Amino acid sequence: MQKLSTQDEWITRAREVLPAGGFGNFDPGIIIARGDGSHVWDENGTEYIDYLIGSGPMLLGHGHPEVMEAVLEQLPKGMTFFANNAKGIELAEAIIEAVPCCEQVRFVASGGEADMYAIRLARAFTGRDKILKFEGGYHGMSAEAQMSLAPERQVNFPQAVPDSGGIPQGVADQMLIAPFNDLGAVEALLAEHDDIAAIIAEPLQRIIPAEPGYLQGLRDLCDRHAVLLIFDEIVTGFRLAYGGAQERYGVTPDICTLGKIIGGGFPLAALGASAEIMAHFDKSLAGEGRWLMQLGTLSGNPIAAAAGLKTMEVLAREGAYDQLRATGQALQEMQTAALEAEGIAHRICGDPTLFDVYFTEGPCRDYRSARHDDPSDNAIYNKVLRENGVFKSPGKLYPSLAVTEADLQATRNAVQLAARAVAGARG
């Protein structure tokens, strides 16, 4: 009887104790043992170039020495207090200095939690109940966010489709769904409904870019109808630019949510807005009935704050974003070259700091159009990439500042093999 590998043993153990054998985040068929710089190793010792980077937060790479030093300096002083701490206050100051819409912030432990509170905050501030979100937009795991995130059946807009069991119909009744990149649809809904509290949007929806003028158009429509604009910058914050999508695109929302990078790899997220809006977290200012109760055991914990502060300090240095974009551009160009050489129709969708390939000739402007003509092409492509040492999500590629020229060359070789495999499978 063949002995199971170390990784197989862990997979077997996981199936006994975890639903579907995993944490719910990623392919449970791989168990990551460690990461260093731009690389990760599985429990069998197989090495990969990491373009998943923890689903975004490890923008500096794994084990960045300056971040490690900041964490190790804080560890003996305390890991969490459920009370204000200096590192958390410093991090709040740094975020406010960087992000245009933030005059004050409130810390939470996860991006989904931040989005949930942002929606609740908009309702409290406006006194209205309905929220407009975009089909395919990801805003965490709250009941509102699980409306039309990845609907398997197409329905007429603005009907909301729950993506999870356990969500009451009443939640769907308070959600309006529109196609991304369609200002006309948004304008029609705002004209028809006078009880919309906010529009919540990813400025880069998963990897679908906003068309020129679209985000400013949302800003203008919100101003015209006295509706709040929420930017979910959990992914784009400190990735598209130091000031996030707000800086990159020059459009300032009323509320934004931040996560991933601001915790430096530790559980931490935040929401921010003007002092007037954020006053609803202060009972003495908001008053009974309009005050938002919010607390969390790990919110603003000093370990995460120390890691986030140091990560932001490194990102603020001259040339950091030029390097990140150059790496992303190189990764895009090598995939285009390899796929064109094999005659494979495709589109690179996203921003150089976050993108992926769609195997299609069609447009990628919203949830319904951004898809592969044949999903098996994508499955083959990603399978061969992983077999050749490239670790990524099946639907996203995250460049990092840790990627080296040697990594790029190895990735180029893997991409060429993957493109040939897709072409070969097509016959």
3-state per-residue secondary structure call for 25-52: CCCCCCCEEEEEECEEEECCCCEEEECC
The closest of 202, 206, 187 to 133, measured between CA atoms, is: 202
Q: Tokens 């459920």 label which residue?
A: 82
Do 67 and 73 meet the contact criterion of CB atoms below 8 Å apart? no
Nearest of 401, 130, 136, 101 to residue 244 by alpha carbon: 101
Distance CA 366, CA 10 (A): 39
* Relative orientation angle of helices 375-387 and 405-426, to the nearest 10 degrees: 140
Both tokens of 33, joined, read 């043992």
- Cα–Cα distances (Å) from 77 to 73, 81, 106, 306, in that order, read 8, 11, 23, 12
Give the strand order in the sheet containing 130-134: 104-108, 269-273, 255-258, 228-233, 196-201, 130-134, 175-178
C-alpha distances (whole Å) from 51 to each of 30, 55, 354 are 15, 9, 10
- DSSP codes joined into one string, 310-357: HHHHHHTSTTHHHHHHHHHHHHHHHHHHHHHHTT---EEEEETTEEEE
Q: How far apart are CA 183 and CA 217, in angstroms?
A: 7
DSSP string over 128-143: --EEEEETT----SST
Question: In the numeric block, which tokens belong to residue 216?
Answer: 């400013």
Residues with a known catalytic role: 138, 232, 260
Sign of the CA dihedral running 216, 217, 218, 224: positive
Amino acid at residue number 267: P
242 CB-side CA count, 13 A: 18
Residues 49 and 415: their CA atoms lie apart, in Å, by: 12
